[in-house]
Amino acid sequence: MKKRAWISRLPVVLALALCGCDGGGDSGPVKSAKGEPEDRVAKIIEELDRTCREQTVYMVGPEKGVRLAELIRSRAPEVVVECGTALGYSGLWIARELEKLGRGKLITIELDPARAELARENFRRAGLAARVDVRTGDARALAGEIEEEVDVLFLDCNYANYHPCFLAIEGRLKDGALLVADNVGIGAGGMQDYLDAVRSDHESETEWFDIDLPWGKRDAMELTTFRRKAGR
């Protein structure tokens, strides 16, 4: 199990720029107050960033959002599954990359019906609704109902549910699928069963980030390459 640092205190505007927010698809460019091109998705991400900070809605934040987008670009997945939608913040980072790639879809699962509906509206406003399937319910159950083969699994729900969600969807993961678990720095104790499983059975790496969120200043994501065992 490897550890490495990635991004240090990346401001929101710089994070969005590094992610390459140049519009595309049906989310065409709009003009900012200064007349500069600005991606519609970036505007909604910035809006949700403020909302999540003010209302203590846990999110990945821009530092990890940039990394998440980079991982999606590098993988060019057909199917991404996210356990823990909240308001759609991380889903926007993912779906924007799928739209730029011109392929793939995001299946995202949220327990709270009100939050799920807000997320649907945010994806619609961003012009990304066609790329996203928001499902409402317990991810531990719904993950097991996914029929598609999965290229990327993003875990960002209740820490104790990481391992149950992984076990539920394990049979649909492609050999070589990427597993991304958020909050490994601030919540490792609550997801230890998941971390023990992926670190012992698969190639796994911990990436650390300096962040600037009300609930933490340093956190990590666990990146795991899933390998199917012989006979399974």
pLDDT tens sequence across 33-59: 433 334 899 999 999 999 999 999 999
Q: How far apart are CA 52 and CA 73, in angstroms?
A: 25
The alpha carbon of residue 22 and the mean position of all alpha carbons in its chain are separated, in whole angstroms, by: 20
Strand stretches in 9-71, DSSP E: 30-31, 37-38
Q: How far apart are CA 19 and CA 60, in angstroms?
A: 15
Fold of the CATH domain 2-225: Rossmann fold (3.40.50)
Q: What is the pLDDT of residue 147?
A: 97
**pLDDT, tens only, 193-220:** 999 999 999 999 999 999 999 999 999 9
Q: Where are the domains of the chain?
A: 2-225
Beta bridge partner(s), residue 105: 79
Model confidence at 229, in pLDDT bands (50, 70, 90)?
confident
**pLDDT, tens only, 152-198:** 999 999 999 999 999 999 999 999 999 999 999 999 999 999 999 99
214-217 long-range contacts (CB < 8 A, ≥24 apart) are 214/53, 214/56, 215/56, 215/58, 215/186, 216/185, 216/186
